[in-house]
Structure 1
Amino acid sequence: MPDYDVIVIGCGIAALTIANRLVPDKNVAIITKEKRDNSNSVLAQGGIAAALTNEDTCDAHFTDTVVAGCRHNDADAVWKLAAEAPGRIRRLINQGMAFDRDNDGHLIFGKEGAHSCRRIIHVGGDATGKHLINHLLEQVSDRVTLIEDETAVDLITSGKHCTGVTTAAQHGDRKRYTASHVVLATGGCGGLYTYTSNAPSITGDGVAMAYRAGAELADMEFIQFHPTLLYHDGQGKGLISEAVRGEGAVLINNQGERIMKHVHLLKDLAPRDVVARTIFSRMLSGEQIFLDISMIEAFDQKFPTITGKLHSNGIDPEKGLIPVIPGAHFSMGGVRTDLVGQTSINGLFAAGETACTGAHGANRLASNSLLEGIVYGNRIAEKIKGCHGEDSCSLTADLKTALPVSLSLPEKTTIRQMMLEHVGITRSEAGLHKVIRWLETYKQQIDGCDLSELTTDQLTKVNMITAGWLIATSALMRTESRGAHFREDFPVADDLNWYQRPIIRKYETTEQLHTV
């Protein structure tokens, strides 16, 4: 018998949504590499998009998502996201989730980039993710087995079925857990880049494990860079929410000129890929970019988290200028799933940023990320709850011949710099070939080696190299510029049709990487 009915790897919004819906019907374990309150979801300042007003419709939310996604989206996945959003949010409210309201008790709706109306709800102003995670943790903590400080090493497979996961504890112990269903909810790949809004622990673990297990991946080239990270002392110091621009803030250079005024019809609320590229090109020209917040009244009350961040970095918000830089924010690609989170491996599901449902297309619409974790987390849980004995399988893992461990790996800072330089906001064929050759010198050492013998630091580097190689090779394959994937050597796609999404399968070299 398996140790658990369901193992969820990760502790963000998608993971906790799934666990919350499954207990007490299923015996659930959550495994997280750090503490339960450490995830990208906790850091989410933005809110949740949902058509909850009389002036809004699910059709409009659908359209905005597709336009932002540069028509690369899967239409069915987008519709599920938009159409189910109101009901899923109302369920959270009924469970006690206290979204921000005005003095009359009405929900407060904000506006962010590429949205056609005000449809973003928040909690605590700019602390939506933190409050959501705390709310869900309160509901599941005493009803699940919550395993902290253990890093998932590899998926256990039997034939074409996932039967569990091996882990490494911080003190070095290796463990093995089995389950009828395994869910990858490990977040994205932001930690592969020098500047990122992500938690430091988000290093592409889920896609790397799925790739090693033979799961199909899709859209790995689409990495969204958030336009506005706080930039101080040469470092990215965390996210400055897009909701700040939604309240009227504008981007200016060190001469006080508005940089988005003549770039896009939506100006400072243009899609994130457009704004990030504009800031990046200006910075390459030697300009310093600021977010002018001088017109926002009661900024400290509307954005208490950001205000605290500014003060802790010695920046006075009363002066009205926040220095910003783009940073890796969200991966639209990941482990390919269907509309209930099932991957190409039986018994293995993927959720949240680890998954690629196709809902985000080439560029995620603001405040659709927490929403995706909620909507598709619920869909996965509902699918698993409906699974019975016919879904069970042998829990005897395949025997694999592992090579001895002898690795010479680069520093994490070097990996991040190479990814930023060659697979960042802009890409070129020459740069992609360069980084792929560099990554493959290390990937050749990694392929087939026994990861159970590695330290957690080595394992992190292995996952970073694997995920980086997947992103770079996918970027080389896509010979166009679309959304968050911008090739200097190819024009921006302007077709009006749904775009066929390439699916990556596990092959050993770039030349053998095929699409289906």
Structure 2
Amino acid sequence: MKHADVIIIGSGIAALQLANKLAKNINVMILTKKDLRTGNSYMAQGGVAAAMAPGDDFYLHYLDTLEAGAHHNNAEAVLEMTKSAPKLIKDLWEGGCTFDEDSNGSLLLGMEGAHSRNRIIHSGGDATGKHMVDHLLSKFDGNISVKPSVFVYELLLNKEKNTCIGVKAKHPDGRNDVYLAPHIVVATGGCGQLYSFTSNAETATGDGMALAYRAGAMLADMEFVQFHPTLLYLEGKTRGLISEAVRGEGAILVTAEGKRIMDGVHPLKDLAPRHIVSQTIYDYLRKGTQIYLDITPVSDFSSRFPTISELCRKHGIDLKEGLIPVVPGSHFIMGGIKTDLHGRTNINGLYAIGEAACTGIHGANRLASNSLLEGMFVGGKLADWINQQLGGKVDTYYTAQNAKVFHDMELPDADVLKKAMMDRAGIVRTREALVHQKDWLAKYGLEEWLEASLDHLGTDEIDRVFMYITAWLITEAAFQRTESRGGHYREDFPHEDPYNWMKRQIIHQRKTVKDGKHEYNQIAFAT
């Protein structure tokens, strides 16, 4: 057994911000699935939103966030975040993090979809995540240790006290290990790899969400999956992300004949909220019409977007022609492990931050460039809270969570699961398709895999179990929400239903009821 004061599972922006903000006398251990630079945060091309321009205001940022989130947001949390955003950026900037500046040495502020003002701060043009991660890593002190390629697959609980006291993890050579701490933080990122078209890193398989669900944590808003409108698409596969900032600089979505597809669809046209743009592109694709991003209106494209330019050149796209073939793909999930603004869950000692968590800030659809911001904001809030706690003694008593062993790995191949999710629980959903997906997933024995011991499985097999569980959570929530809102679009219920659904959350929780069985879903009002 190994001991620490705080164990952080994951190594994205939220995790790194938390680690740096914790007091230097706190022993922090980061357990990361691959290494420190393989996650979505490091890949993030987009920037960070903050109301720092003359004429802008945190309240306008707040209103834009609510509008993009289809008013499903936790409004108080949004207000606190947008109010905190300028100081978060200023502290990073003054601390040595490089951000793009104009000729006067002021921050260069860009525009992205659904924002009413120029307020997007970038670093290296389209390498913001990379620069921010590198900066935060450079600030690590001796109290922080990192263990790469350690896959956490079970949360250890003292069930009598409803407390999480540690984790089980697996090493690349198959060894299992136990790590104990009074504070366990899930910061594993999202689940974009559940879909065949995605902008996400290979590590984003929803493992943290499934991990928490198996332990009895509440999950919320799992139906709200954001599909980024513009992924580079060649030969039937997505090849990488084309940042929304490209459209912010004037690029437009067109057919091969040059027809502008967003005209007349939304007042913001190509900068409409992501779910509207994605659904519009998807409608054309279903009819067999390929859509392109016309970059000819963007001056100095190669110098403005060096990462994207290199991506296109690598895959044989001639930027001089000005047309980049695109499709929508899964990009971000607004739902996750239900927490308060300090990252606390319904299990004592268990926290969640970043994309793995659901604070309610993003509502039904995340506003562009609010994800890195939320990770820094909540990561800092959790650090403040843990710093105020008295030194906790590590509890070594835990209850065996799962004892049943299943030796036959009867689960669908990952690629088959991804295609099924894209086809039946993707951008456009229907009752018929969701029922089909629910029935298909049910064939593989959800209850058995929720009860199963994973000790004997390899990391790839465990990852597939977690993908399967998280796919079920998304499908079930999408089936239950009988309206369209934000990232959740039901073709059979195409309109918002504010009377019944606007502030209502679908809560998933695995808990034992009186007859000894488990119930899996509740519907509750957001608070």
TM > 0.5: yes
Kindly report which structure 2 residues correspond to 1:56-455, keeping only aligned pairs within 5 A, or say none: 56-140=56-140, 142-159=142-159, 160-389=162-391, 392=393, 394-400=395-401, 402-406=403-407, 407-442=409-444, 443-455=446-458
Distance 1:494 1:397 in 2: 44
Are the aligned partners of 1:11 and 1:36 in contact in 2 as well (CA < 8 Å)?
yes
- Corresponding letter in the other structure for 1:397: Y
Are the aligned partners of 1:215 and 1:343 in contact in 2 as well (CA < 8 Å)?
yes
- Corresponding letter in the other structure for 1:157: L
**For residue 52 of structure 1, what is the aligned residue in structure 2?**
52
Distance 1:449 1:295 in 2: 55
- Using the TM superposition, give the Cα deviation of residue 23 of structure 1 relative to its aligned residue in structure 2, in angstroms: 4.5
Are the aligned partners of 2:506 and 2:521 in contact in 1 as well (CA < 8 Å)?
no
- Corresponding letter in the other structure for 2:130: K
* Structure 1 pair 94–143 and aligned structure 2 pair: CA distance change class (3 A): farther
- Using the TM superposition, give the Cα deviation of residue 494 of structure 1 relative to its aligned residue in structure 2, in angstroms: 5.7
Q: Which moved more, 1:506-515 or 1:357-366?
A: 506-515
- Corresponding letter in the other structure for 1:361: G
Matched, 1:32 2:40: no
Are the aligned partners of 2:156 and 2:401 in contact in 1 as well (CA < 8 Å)?
no
* Structure 1 pair 428–510 and aligned structure 2 pair: CA distance change class (3 A): farther
Distance 2:171 2:181 in 1: 19
SS in 2 for 1:514: strand
Are the aligned partners of 2:24 and 2:141 in contact in 1 as well (CA < 8 Å)?
no
User: What is the TM-score with the length of structure 2 in the denominator?
Assistant: 0.95
Residue from 464, 475, 478 that aligns with 1:475: 478
SS in 2 for 1:70: coil
- Corresponding letter in the other structure for 1:6: V
- Using the TM superposition, give the Cα deviation of residue 179 of structure 1 relative to its aligned residue in structure 2, in angstroms: 0.6
- Corresponding letter in the other structure for 1:268: D
Gaps of 5+ in 1: none
Distance 1:4 1:510 in 2: 33
- Using the TM superposition, give the Cα deviation of residue 502 of structure 1 relative to its aligned residue in structure 2, in angstroms: 2.7
**For residue 493 of structure 1, what is the aligned residue in structure 2?**
496
Distance 2:238 2:110 in 1: 25
Residues 392-416 of structure 1: per-residue CA shift (max 9 Å, x gap): 5633111345112222121110010
Distance 1:382 1:142 in 2: 19
Aligned residues: 515
- Using the TM superposition, give the Cα deviation of residue 439 of structure 1 relative to its aligned residue in structure 2, in angstroms: 1.3
Distance 2:271 2:6 in 1: 41
Are the aligned partners of 2:221 and 2:506 in contact in 1 as well (CA < 8 Å)?
yes
Distance 2:468 2:81 in 1: 32
- Using the TM superposition, give the Cα deviation of residue 448 of structure 1 relative to its aligned residue in structure 2, in angstroms: 1.2
SS in 1 for 2:421: helix
* Structure 1 pair 421–78 and aligned structure 2 pair: CA distance change class (3 A): same
Gaps of 5+ in 2: none
SS in 1 for 2:182: strand
- Using the TM superposition, give the Cα deviation of residue 510 of structure 1 relative to its aligned residue in structure 2, in angstroms: 10
CA RMSD of the aligned region, Å? Answer: 1.7
**For residue 506 of structure 2, what is the aligned residue in structure 1?**
502
Distance 1:147 1:318 in 2: 45
- Using the TM superposition, give the Cα deviation of residue 199 of structure 1 relative to its aligned residue in structure 2, in angstroms: 0.2
User: What is the TM-score with the length of structure 1 in the denominator?
Assistant: 0.97
- Using the TM superposition, give the Cα deviation of residue 511 of structure 1 relative to its aligned residue in structure 2, in angstroms: 7.9
Distance 1:404 1:379 in 2: 40
Are the aligned partners of 2:222 and 2:474 in contact in 1 as well (CA < 8 Å)?
yes
- Corresponding letter in the other structure for 1:490: F
* Structure 1 pair 336–308 and aligned structure 2 pair: CA distance change class (3 A): same
Are the aligned partners of 2:34 and 2:148 in contact in 1 as well (CA < 8 Å)?
yes
Distance 1:174 1:399 in 2: 15
SS in 1 for 2:223: coil
Residues 486-512 of structure 1: per-residue CA shift (max 9 Å, x gap): 011113216399612232211599985
Residues 250-281 of structure 1: per-residue CA shift (max 9 Å, x gap): 00012210000110000000000000000000
Distance 1:180 1:87 in 2: 30
* Structure 1 pair 124–400 and aligned structure 2 pair: CA distance change class (3 A): closer
- Corresponding letter in the other structure for 1:333: G
Distance 1:127 1:141 in 2: 25
Residue identity (%): 47
- Using the TM superposition, give the Cα deviation of residue 425 of structure 1 relative to its aligned residue in structure 2, in angstroms: 0.2
SS in 2 for 1:210: helix
Residues 50-107 of structure 1: per-residue CA shift (max 9 Å, x gap): 0112211010000000000000001111112111111111111121111100121111
- Using the TM superposition, give the Cα deviation of residue 170 of structure 1 relative to its aligned residue in structure 2, in angstroms: 1.1
SS in 2 for 1:229: strand
Are the aligned partners of 2:510 and 2:519 in contact in 1 as well (CA < 8 Å)?
no
SS in 2 for 1:431: helix
Are the aligned partners of 1:73 and 1:498 in contact in 2 as well (CA < 8 Å)?
no
Matched, 1:514 2:517: no
SS in 1 for 2:156: strand
Are the aligned partners of 1:405 and 1:453 in contact in 2 as well (CA < 8 Å)?
no
Are the aligned partners of 1:473 and 1:510 in contact in 2 as well (CA < 8 Å)?
no
Distance 2:497 2:476 in 1: 23
Residues 336-366 of structure 1: per-residue CA shift (max 9 Å, x gap): 0011110111111100100000000000000
Are the aligned partners of 1:161 and 1:393 in contact in 2 as well (CA < 8 Å)?
no
Distance 2:141 2:303 in 1: 31
- Corresponding letter in the other structure for 2:178: R
Are the aligned partners of 2:226 and 2:366 in contact in 1 as well (CA < 8 Å)?
yes
